[in-house]
Structure 1
Amino acid sequence: MGSKNKLKRFSENETFSNVIQPTRDEVIKGFFLKGKWASHFKNENPIVLELGCGKGEYTVGLAKQNRDKNHIGVDIKGARLWRGAKTALAENLENVAFLRTQIELIDLMFVKGEISEIWITFPDPQIKYKRTKHRLTNPQFLEKYKHILKPGGLMHLKTDSEYLHGYTLGLLQGMGAKVLYANHDVYRNEGSPKEVLEIQTFYENQYLEKGKPITYIQFRIT
């Protein structure tokens, strides 16, 4: 994407009512929506997060399927989440918001138990050992998720990375988490939830064209 297109999207994001872009300092000093997301959505419906939402396909797709829930896509790359925000506005999806921030700050964006469900869709698996701290299902991140999730809140990991799938399953077993469902090839093995099969991201389509299996885990850490 050219720099002019990026600048245009950054500028449009500033005008979108469904895009929130706090600075790092604003988050650390006290994020204004922490514990008050119901005021943004103007209802008390459950909140579902998509972490590393990219173009927002899952956030928008889930919002269409679940109008009784509020959906927030989180990503640091504004030029990508612009697509999802624009689509949500065009389709009058009032249960959608996009939060541009670092996922490492996620526990500063919500109070304890404010989130009902978390989706992690096609994150960078960060396979190299020195990149473990950036892996979105490492123990440190899971602790952050545990803090903001309601008791019994669901987590979902959908990825093309067999490494990340296996790493996460092993980690969950070691910490005594409850794995509700795991599938190493969702389109060839039956039983996956409909939202796993019916919603596909930009990157997922690329992986499927290459014949890569798509894996999925549903689990609880609270």
Structure 2
Amino acid sequence: MGRSKLEKFAVIAERENVIQEGDERYANLAGKWREAHFKNNNPLVLEIGCGRGEYSIGMATLFPEKNFIGIDIKGARLWKGSTMAMEQELTNVAFLRIFVEQLNEHFAEGEVDEIWITFPDPRPKDRDIKRRLTSPRFLKQYERILKPNGLVHLKTDNEMLYEFTLEVLQEQKKEKLFHTSDLYNSDLQEHTMGIYTTYEKRYLGEGIPIKYLQFQL
């Protein structure tokens, strides 16, 4: 039987690779993630809505010369990612427990080099359009914390979210926009580095094509 959520919450509260409210570092890392947490000057990559952190872990393994931060509000999920990072002795990945709406409180303008959004909740109801992680209000947040020409990547199984995001980006005339509605039958799959999340494997097993967009803000 797995650990209960309360046990996991207690564990991550003591972990060096998890930053959350109540931690003395929580409000003091904006603009200082490289020097204060990672102790280097390497590029900084975020995974928004990281869940169990599988993509963050995968990227951290492939690119030891970069720093990765998985962001999610679910403590039990972050416990899994932080545990995997510790087991693999990865020092270039951390996890931040916040709502996405709080990004500007925790990252300085132009601090981030790249953002990944992997299989987010598509928020299919019209009343939830503003809560979609590729809605204009979130894109504005990403644009503030990204360096000029910083990349954003979206992977999703959801056709509606893919089409919505594409429409938003085309309306805003975003540059260097690459996209495909069937990633693994396209020439863009090399950009995703062969990393698969648990959900992605499930969707592929069900014959659902994976959609992918890469763009600059």
Task: Provide TM-score, normalisation by structure 1.
Answer: 0.92
**For residues 197 and 215 of structure 1, do their structure 2 counterparts lie closer, same or farther at Cα, with a shift above 3 Å needed?**
farther
User: 1:213/1:197 Cα in 2 relative to 1: closer, same or farther (>3 Å)?
Assistant: farther
**Structure 1 residue 42 displacement after superposition:** 0.2
Between the aligned partners of 1:153 and 1:113, the Cα distance in structure 2 is 9
Structure 2: which amino acid aligns with 1:35?
A: G
| d(CA) in 1 for partners of 2:177, 2:126 | 28
Matched AA of 1:12: V
Match of 1:111 in 2: 108
- Note the C-alpha offset of 1:140: 0.4
SS at match of 1:178: coil
**What per-residue deviation string (whole Å, max 9, x for no partner) do you get for residues 57-83 of structure 1?**
000001111111100000000101111
**What is the rounded CA distance, in whole Å, between the counterparts of 2:210 and 2:189 in structure 1?**
13
Query: 1:198 corresponds to which residue?
Result: 194
Aligned to 1:96: 93
User: 2:212 — aligned with what?
Assistant: 216
Letter in 2 for 1:145: Y
Cα distance change of structure 1 residues 179 and 166 upon mapping to structure 2, 3 Å threshold: farther
Q: Which residue of 1 aligns with 2:148?
A: 151
SS of residue matched to 1:208: helix
Gaps of 5+ in 1: none
Which amino acid in 2 is paired with 1:185? D
| Aligned partner (choices 48, 72, 88) of residue 69 of structure 2 | 72
Q: Which residue of 2 aligns with 1:40?
A: 37
* Cα distance in structure 1, aligned partners of 2:128 and 2:176: 25
In 1, are the aligned partners of 2:183 and 2:189 still within 8 Å (CA)? no
Amino acid at match of 1:172: L
Structure 1 counterpart of 2:152, which letter?
Answer: M
SS in 1 for 2:95: strand
Report the more deviating stretch, 160-169 or 173-182: 173-182
Matches within 5 A, 1:122-161: 122-161=119-158
Kindly indicate whether the alpha-carbon contact (under 8 Å) linking 1:183 and 1:192 is maintained by their aligned counterparts in 2.
yes
CA offsets, 1:88-110, max 9 Å, x none?
11111110000001001111111
1:20-31 equivalences under 5 Å are 20-22=19-21, 31=27
Tell me how far apart the structure 2 counterparts of residues 108 and 194 of structure 1 sit (CA, whole Å). Answer: 33
Q: Which amino acid aligns with 2:128?
A: R
Q: TM-score, normalised by structure 2?
A: 0.94
Once residues 18 and 194 of structure 1 are traced to their aligned partners in structure 2, the CA distance between those partners, rounded to angstroms, is: 29
Query: Match of 2:11?
Result: 12
Asked whether the 8 Å contact 1:35–1:111 carries over to 2, the reply is: yes
Partner of 1:52: 49
Indicate conservation of the 8 Å contact 1:172/1:179, yes or no: no
Partner of 1:199, secondary structure, is coil
1:87 to 2:84 alignment: yes
SS at match of 2:200: helix
